[in-house]
Amino acid sequence: MIEEGRPLFLQIAESVEDSIVDGSLAEESQAPSTNELAAFHRINPATAAKGITMLVDKGVLYKRRGIGMFVAEGARARLMAERRASFADRYVEPLLAEARKLGLGPDDLGALIRERASASSAQNERNAR
Amino acid sequence: MTAVIEVRGLTKRYRDAVAVDDVSFSIERDTIYGLLGRNGAGKTTVMSILTAQNFATSGDVRVFGEHPYENARVLSRMCFVRESQKYPDDATATHALGAARLFFPNWSQELADRLVDDFQLPMRRRIKKLSRGQLSAVGVIIGLASRAEVTFFDEPYLGLDAVARQLFYDRLLQDYTEHPRTVILSSHLIDEVSNLIERVLVIDRGRIIMNEDTDSVRDRAATIVGDSAAVDAFVAGREVLHRESLGRVASVTILGALTHEDRERLAAADLDVAPVSLQQLIVRTTQSADGAASEKGASR
């Protein structure tokens, strides 16, 4: 789960953000503590604390004195906006680069995406039943 | 941050060999350090001098602001778990732990009992008769249960299997979280400890070549892979740590974090970037030792 080559505190912060974005960590609910994160990821507590501090500075978490860290109101919407902004760089760019190598143009990609999207939504409907 | 250990101009010479060459550094309170380096780099010598088990040729060492030699005030606050700790012939683990309990003021018998259980250490067998792994377990238990303000572990894992090593790392983190203290862990299993250590201290041929936050080192180097002409064009003017090639494909490890512009250039040139682990980085930076690392005997 932990990757090499990237600062650990960033990865810890991102793992907390992931839980906020996918809704498993709701706004105004208590975030995992530094020690819980350190024990779960088996990392130094100081590193986990650095990740938490980064999220506090970003306004994603806030501290309730004597209780712990909580997810700020509006954090999910802000994280989603931030991720949408970087979506093109992180996912579309590499997709286009690989497609170019294979001689696939934007229209081919569009067709592929629509095809896959309808197949997976049909799959989801079947699973939901 | 406050320093618990301060070293200035420390040198240790054995006849012709220089084991530690004019090093200066400080160790911060309540931090886990990784002391890394090749065999014979001077790790054990430095730890022995800091714990007053060896004499410096020159230089100044302060622990808790005082000289450690024959200084009970300082020594009872430090624990040094040696890789090859010697025990009296008749001693059992019961004796060793009993002596440690008397010596270390913060000793936790509860933790010691739990660790004996965890490591399934036979308490009544003579230490001489224990396996290498069980012998290491005695050291690990004393090191953790002493809860000394400064604890040195010199390659504490010899003979411990992967399960027992994980147990050691887990217990260390757990107890450190509840009772913060300074831990200096010397290890060759760099990848295993890289997530535990907050700071990394690398010693190479008797000199400290790195003393930094582990996290800030993690994106310090990258390996660029692709068409060798394109790789060469990209790495021109950068510090190259290592280079390999296979036909027209080259793989070059460079020092320095990649910027956003670098990444765009790499993508445009169709080059791949592979991360470099702490272990690889240290191997690459200490590799240029030119065979000077064969002084293990001299550093003891």
Structure confidence at residue B1 (pLDDT): 65
**CB B28, CB A46: distance < 8 Å:** no
Interface predicted TM-score of the whole assembly (ipTM), two decimals: 0.78
Weakest mean pLDDT among A24-38, A66-80, A109-123, B280-294: B280-294
Same domain? A27 vs A65: yes
Categorize the per-residue pLDDT at B220 as very low, low, confident or very high, splitting at 50, 70 and 90. confident
Same domain? A14 vs A64: yes
The shortest CB-CB distance from B195 to any of A6, A43, A97 is to: A43
Same domain? A38 vs A69: yes
Cα(B48)–Cα(B26) distance, integer angstroms: 16
Q: How many domains does chain A have?
A: 2
Of B58, B55, B8, B41, the C-alpha closest to B288 is: B41
Same domain? A27 vs A68: yes
B24 touches chain A (CB under 8 A): no
Q: What is the pLDDT of chain B when averaged over all its residues? A: 90
The shortest CB-CB distance from B197 to any of A35, A44, A93 is to: A44
Same domain? A61 vs A101: no
The residue extents of the domains of chain B are 3-216, 221-275
- Say if A124 falls within a structural domain: yes
Weakest mean pLDDT among A120-124, B21-25, B92-96: A120-124
Q: If you average pLDDT over residues B213-237, what whole number do you get?
A: 92
Give the minimum alpha-carbon distance from A78 to chain B in angstroms, rounded to a whole number.
Answer: 23
- Say if A80 falls within a structural domain: no
Structure confidence at residue A78 (pLDDT): 95
Place of tokens 């001098």: B49
What is the token pair recorded at B238?
Answer: 């950068």
Q: If you average pLDDT over residues B17-39, what whole number do you get?
A: 94
Q: Domain B3-216 adopts which CATH fold?
A: Rossmann fold (3.40.50)
Of A9, A5, A3, A16, the C-alpha closest to A45 is: A9
- Say if A29 falls within a structural domain: yes
Cα(B269)–Cα(B141) distance, integer angstroms: 54
Cα(B127)–Cα(B135) distance, integer angstroms: 7
Cα(B133)–Cα(B144) distance, integer angstroms: 16
Q: If you average pLDDT over residues B185-207, what whole number do you get?
A: 93
Of B93, B64, B92, the C-alpha closest to B2 is: B64
Q: Which domain range does residue A40 map to? A: 8-73
Yes or no, beta carbons of B219 and A38 under 8 Å apart: no
Categorize the per-residue pLDDT at B112 as very low, low, confident or very high, splitting at 50, 70 and 90. very high
Same domain? A26 vs A68: yes
B292 pLDDT exceeds 80? no
Categorize the per-residue pLDDT at B294 as very low, low, confident or very high, splitting at 50, 70 and 90. very low
Cα(B224)–Cα(B274) distance, integer angstroms: 6
Same domain? A12 vs A69: yes
Categorize the per-residue pLDDT at B288 as very low, low, confident or very high, splitting at 50, 70 and 90. low
Q: What residues of B are in contact with residue A38 (Cβ under 8 Å)?
A: 173, 177
Chain A: residue nearest B222 by CA?
A5
**CB B111, CB B179: distance < 8 Å:** no
Same domain? A95 vs A47: no
Q: What is the 3-state secondary structure (H, E, C) of B160-172?
A: CCHHHHHHHHHHH
Q: What residues of B are in contact with residue A46 (Cβ under 8 Å)?
A: 31, 198
What angle do the packed helices B132-145 and B93-103 form, to 10 degrees?
A: 20
Structure confidence at residue B296 (pLDDT): 39
B247 pLDDT exceeds 50? yes
Beta-carbon contacts of residue B31 (< 8 Å; ≥ 6 apart): A46, B182, B183, B198, B199
Chain B: residue nearest A4 by CA?
B277
Same domain? A63 vs A98: no
DSSP A124: H
A102 touches chain B (CB under 8 A): no
What is the token pair recorded at B251?
Answer: 């793989």
B148 pLDDT exceeds 50? yes
Same domain? A69 vs A94: no
CA distances (Å), origin B168, targets A35, B82, B153, B200: 18, 15, 11, 19
Q: What residues of B are in contact with residue A42 (Cβ under 8 Å)?
A: 169-170, 173, 195-196
The 10s digit of each residue's pLDDT in A36-65 is: 999 999 999 999 999 999 999 999 999 999
**CB A9, CB A50: distance < 8 Å:** yes
Weakest mean pLDDT among A125-129, B47-51, B149-153: A125-129
Structure confidence at residue B293 (pLDDT): 39
**H or E stretch including A21?**
helix A8-21
Give pTM, 2 decimals: 0.85
Q: If you average pLDDT over residues B226-238, what whole number do you get?
A: 94
CATH code of the domain in which A51 resides = 1.10.10.10
Q: Domain B221-275 adopts which CATH fold?
A: Alpha-Beta Plaits (3.30.70)
Place of tokens 């740590």: B241
**CB B132, CB B156: distance < 8 Å:** no
Same domain? A18 vs A68: yes
Q: If you average pLDDT over residues B222-236, what whole number do you get?
A: 94
Identity of residue B181: R
Yes or no, beta carbons of A44 and B32 under 8 Å apart: yes
Q: What is the 3-state secondary structure (H, E, C) of A32-92?
A: CCHHHHHHHHCCCHHHHHHHHHHHHHCCCEEEECCCEEEECCCHHHHHHHHHHHHHHHHHH
Q: If you average pLDDT over residues B1-28, what whole number do you get?
A: 93
Categorize the per-residue pLDDT at B291 as very low, low, confident or very high, splitting at 50, 70 and 90. very low
B129 pLDDT exceeds 90? yes
**CB B198, CB B213: distance < 8 Å:** yes
Provide, rounded to the nearest whole percent, the portion of chain A with pLDDT above 90.
Answer: 73
